[in-house]
Amino acid sequence: MATIRLGDEAPNFTAESTEGTINFHEWLGDSWGVLFSHPADYTPVCTTELGAVARYKEQFDKRNTKVIALSVDGLESHKGWVKDINETQNTTVNFPIIADEDRKVSELYDMIHPNADDKLTVRSVFVIGKDKKVKLIITYPASTGRNFDELLRVIDSLQLTAYHKVATPANWNSGEDVVISPAITNEQIPSLFPKGHTEIKPYLRMTPQPDLK
């Protein structure tokens, strides 16, 4: 079974979904992506999660990020469950759910952890950049629902730090000051960060978020 690490190319696959046959890399196109698995259809925590993602779809769209879910249940099961999600979560599921009955994708992405459950996927999350490289991996147990506010926060950080020579400090949210990369010399700062900076320690230099006007 493959082990995927940060910086690896996200494995491509073709699979059936609630929105038709998907070739993953082609479907991503020039977007960022979030691939996340849920243990099974018609389960309570997963129902709330997929409802939450549907409500957050506009927020993902703003970040040029596509979302796609997966479980090892079949397509007809997914379609029936989507009706329950829409009814109970007062939303409309507006993203594809992959049917992975043969576990091809689950095994490709190491989503089945035998010590937790040898048949069902854990709550895996993969954030994938426009370059098709894996930028983030988070694994939750089946008993714990995911925090999608945190996922959006992380995507904000990943996208900011991909294009600017900065890092984001603890508990950072978009709009707050960021850390200047240690590789940047003090002489380079004025041209790269014209908003100015504050040196707390030689290795800890803060500057306003550079992509905001």
Which tens digits make up the pLDDT trace of 7-37?
A: 999 999 999 999 999 999 999 999 999 999 8
Mean pLDDT, the chain, rounded, equals 91
The pTM of this model reads: 0.90
**Whether residue 118 has pLDDT greater than 80:** no
Confidence label for 213 from pLDDT (cuts 50, 70 and 90): confident
- Does 57 map to a domain? yes
Residues 140 and 53 both lie in one domain: yes
Hey, which residues does 32 pair with through a beta bridge? 65
Query: Which of 28, 46, 85, 93 is labelled catalytic?
Result: 46
**For the segment 38-67, what is each residue's pLDDT rounded down to a tens digit?**
888 898 999 999 999 999 999 999 999 999
Establish whether 196 is a catalytic residue.
Answer: no
**CATH code at 186?**
3.30.1020.10
Last residue of a domain, one of 94, 113, 144: 144
**Whether residue 115 has pLDDT greater than 80:** no
Torsion, Cα 36 88 58 209, to 10 degrees, reads -70
- Does 151 map to a domain? no
CB 100 within 8 A of CB 107: no
Residues 121 and 22 both lie in one domain: yes
Judged on CB neighbours under 10 Å (0-12, 13-18, 19+), 200 is: exposed
Q: What is the mean pLDDT of residues 123-150?
A: 92
Residues 108 and 195 both lie in one domain: no
**Whether residue 173 has pLDDT greater than 70:** yes
Q: Which domain holds residue 121?
A: 14-144
- Does 123 map to a domain? yes
Helix (H/G/I), strand (E/B), else coil: 48: helix
DSSP class of residue 195 equals T
Q: Per the structure, how many domains does the chain have?
A: 2
